[in-house]
Protein backbone atom coordinates (compact mmCIF):
# COMPACT_ATOMS: atom_id res chain seq x y z
CA UNK A 1 0.00 0.00 0.00
CA UNK A 2 1.37 3.40 -0.90
CA UNK A 3 0.45 6.61 0.81
CA UNK A 4 0.40 10.02 -0.72
CA UNK A 5 1.30 13.05 1.33
CA UNK A 6 -0.88 15.97 0.38
CA UNK A 7 1.08 19.18 -0.09
CA UNK A 8 0.26 21.92 2.36
CA UNK A 9 -1.76 24.60 0.60
CA UNK A 10 -0.37 28.11 0.36
CA UNK A 11 -2.29 30.51 2.58
CA UNK A 12 -2.83 34.20 1.93
CA UNK A 13 -3.09 36.69 4.79
CA UNK A 14 -5.53 39.53 5.37
CA UNK A 15 -5.50 43.00 3.87
CA UNK A 16 -3.98 45.69 6.09
CA UNK A 17 -6.23 47.79 8.30
CA UNK A 18 -4.46 51.14 7.89
CA UNK A 19 -5.14 54.67 6.69
CA UNK A 20 -3.59 58.14 6.73
CA UNK A 21 -4.42 58.53 10.45
CA UNK A 22 -2.43 55.44 11.51
CA UNK A 23 0.17 56.41 14.13
CA UNK A 24 0.61 52.99 15.74
CA UNK A 25 0.78 49.84 13.63
CA UNK A 26 0.45 46.43 15.24
CA UNK A 27 2.08 43.67 13.23
CA UNK A 28 1.30 40.05 13.93
CA UNK A 29 3.04 37.14 12.26
CA UNK A 30 0.28 35.55 10.17
CA UNK A 31 -3.44 35.01 10.87
CA UNK A 32 -4.40 31.84 12.70
CA UNK A 33 -6.88 29.34 11.32
CA UNK A 34 -9.86 30.99 13.07
CA UNK A 35 -8.90 34.41 11.70
CA UNK A 36 -8.41 33.10 8.17
CA UNK A 37 -11.76 31.26 8.29
CA UNK A 38 -13.55 34.39 9.54
CA UNK A 39 -11.44 36.78 7.44
CA UNK A 40 -10.98 38.84 10.61
CA UNK A 41 -7.89 39.83 12.53
CA UNK A 42 -7.58 38.08 15.90
CA UNK A 43 -10.85 36.15 15.54
CA UNK A 44 -9.98 33.40 18.03
CA UNK A 45 -12.27 34.07 21.02
CA UNK A 46 -9.42 33.59 23.52
CA UNK A 47 -6.95 35.90 21.75
CA UNK A 48 -6.29 38.87 24.04
CA UNK A 49 -5.70 41.52 21.36
CA UNK A 50 -9.19 43.03 21.29
CA UNK A 51 -9.47 43.27 25.10
CA UNK A 52 -5.98 44.86 25.17
CA UNK A 53 -6.89 47.35 22.43
CA UNK A 54 -10.12 48.12 24.29
CA UNK A 55 -8.06 49.05 27.35
CA UNK A 56 -5.56 51.10 25.32
CA UNK A 57 -8.19 53.06 23.40
CA UNK A 58 -10.73 53.44 26.19
CA UNK A 59 -13.41 51.98 23.90
CA UNK A 60 -15.06 48.57 24.20
CA UNK A 61 -13.78 47.37 20.83
CA UNK A 62 -14.04 43.76 21.98
CA UNK A 63 -17.77 44.24 22.54
CA UNK A 64 -18.44 45.56 19.04
CA UNK A 65 -19.15 43.54 15.91
CA UNK A 66 -15.94 43.17 13.87
CA UNK A 67 -17.13 45.50 11.10
CA UNK A 68 -17.63 48.26 13.69
CA UNK A 69 -14.29 47.65 15.44
CA UNK A 70 -12.13 48.53 12.45
CA UNK A 71 -13.31 52.12 11.83
CA UNK A 72 -13.14 52.82 15.59
CA UNK A 73 -9.62 51.38 15.73
CA UNK A 74 -8.52 53.52 12.76
CA UNK A 75 -10.12 56.63 14.29
CA UNK A 76 -7.94 56.03 17.37
CA UNK A 77 -4.81 56.00 15.18
CA UNK A 78 -4.19 52.25 15.32
CA UNK A 79 -3.63 49.91 12.39
CA UNK A 80 -3.33 46.14 12.03
CA UNK A 81 -1.36 44.00 9.63
CA UNK A 82 0.97 41.01 9.59
CA UNK A 83 4.63 40.70 8.68
CA UNK A 84 3.82 37.75 6.42
CA UNK A 85 1.50 38.02 3.46
CA UNK A 86 1.57 34.33 2.62
CA UNK A 87 2.95 31.04 3.87
CA UNK A 88 2.25 27.35 4.21
CA UNK A 89 1.08 26.13 7.59
CA UNK A 90 -0.92 23.35 9.19
CA UNK A 91 -2.88 24.68 12.16
CA UNK A 92 -2.23 28.06 13.74
CA UNK A 93 1.16 27.88 15.45
CA UNK A 94 3.93 30.16 14.22
CA UNK A 95 6.35 27.26 14.63
CA UNK A 96 4.48 25.44 11.84
CA UNK A 97 4.99 28.24 9.27
CA UNK A 98 6.81 27.11 6.13
CA UNK A 99 7.76 29.05 2.99
CA UNK A 100 7.06 32.48 4.53
CA UNK A 101 6.64 35.46 2.20
CA UNK A 102 6.84 38.92 3.80
CA UNK A 103 4.32 41.64 3.08
CA UNK A 104 5.51 44.55 0.96
CA UNK A 105 6.05 47.44 3.35
CA UNK A 106 7.66 49.75 0.76
CA UNK A 107 4.59 52.01 0.49
CA UNK A 108 3.95 52.23 4.24
CA UNK A 109 5.32 55.79 4.61
CA UNK A 110 3.10 56.98 1.77
CA UNK A 111 -0.01 55.19 3.04
CA UNK A 112 0.56 56.06 6.72
CA UNK A 113 2.43 59.39 6.81
CA UNK A 114 1.80 59.81 10.57
CA UNK A 115 3.11 56.35 11.49
CA UNK A 116 5.61 56.58 14.36
CA UNK A 117 5.39 53.31 16.30
CA UNK A 118 5.32 49.70 15.18
CA UNK A 119 4.38 47.12 17.79
CA UNK A 120 5.12 43.48 17.08
CA UNK A 121 2.64 40.99 18.49
CA UNK A 122 5.05 38.27 19.64
CA UNK A 123 8.55 37.06 18.91
CA UNK A 124 7.92 35.74 15.39
CA UNK A 125 6.78 39.09 14.04
CA UNK A 126 9.37 40.76 16.28
CA UNK A 127 12.13 39.36 14.05
CA UNK A 128 11.18 42.18 11.65
CA UNK A 129 11.71 44.91 14.29
CA UNK A 130 15.32 45.75 13.28
CA UNK A 131 14.26 46.54 9.70
CA UNK A 132 11.51 48.88 10.91
CA UNK A 133 13.85 50.51 13.43
CA UNK A 134 16.39 51.07 10.64
CA UNK A 135 13.61 52.79 8.65
CA UNK A 136 13.17 55.26 11.52
CA UNK A 137 10.18 53.82 13.34
CA UNK A 138 9.94 53.33 17.09
CA UNK A 139 9.57 49.57 17.59
CA UNK A 140 8.39 47.40 20.45
CA UNK A 141 8.34 43.61 20.53
CA UNK A 142 5.37 42.80 22.75
CA UNK A 143 4.11 39.60 24.37
CA UNK A 144 1.93 37.58 22.04
CA UNK A 145 -1.81 37.92 22.56
CA UNK A 146 -2.31 34.35 21.31
CA UNK A 147 -3.99 31.90 23.69
CA UNK A 148 -1.05 29.57 22.96
CA UNK A 149 1.16 31.96 24.96
CA UNK A 150 -0.32 31.69 28.43
CA UNK A 151 2.82 32.30 30.51
CA UNK A 152 1.62 35.87 31.21
CA UNK A 153 -1.77 36.94 32.50
CA UNK A 154 -3.89 39.41 30.56
CA UNK A 155 -2.96 42.10 33.10
CA UNK A 156 0.76 41.39 32.65
CA UNK A 157 0.44 41.52 28.86
CA UNK A 158 -1.58 44.75 29.04
CA UNK A 159 1.08 46.32 31.26
CA UNK A 160 3.68 45.77 28.51
CA UNK A 161 1.31 46.71 25.67
CA UNK A 162 0.71 50.11 27.34
CA UNK A 163 4.24 51.02 26.17
CA UNK A 164 2.74 51.54 22.70
CA UNK A 165 1.14 54.77 23.90
Q: What is the CATH number of the domain that holds 135?
A: 3.40.470.10
Catalytic residues: 47
Report yes or no on 46 lying in a domain: yes
Q: List the beta bridge partners of residue 164.
A: none
Residue 152 and residue 34: Cα distance in Å, rounded? Answer: 22
Q: How many domains is the chain partitioned into structurally?
A: 1
| Confidence at residue 4, expressed as pLDDT on a 0 to 100 scale | 54
106 is a domain residue? yes
Is 44 within the bounds of a domain? Answer: yes
The pLDDT tens digits for 49-95 are 999 999 999 999 999 999 999 999 999 999 999 999 999 999 889 99
Please give the backbone phi and psi of residue 60, each rounded to the nearest 5 degrees, phi first: -80, 70
Asked if residue 35 is part of any domain, the answer here is yes
Give the three-class secondary structure for 11: strand
Instruction: Establish if 1 belongs to a structural domain.
Output: no
Residue 2 located in a structural domain: no
Q: Which residues of the chain have pLDDT under 50?
A: 1
Please give the residue range of the domain that contains residue 46.
10-164
Amino acid sequence: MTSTIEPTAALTGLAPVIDVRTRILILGSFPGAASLAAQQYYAHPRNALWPILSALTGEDLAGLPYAERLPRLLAQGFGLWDVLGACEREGSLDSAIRKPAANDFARLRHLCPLLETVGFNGQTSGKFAPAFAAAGYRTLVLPSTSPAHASLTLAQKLDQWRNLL
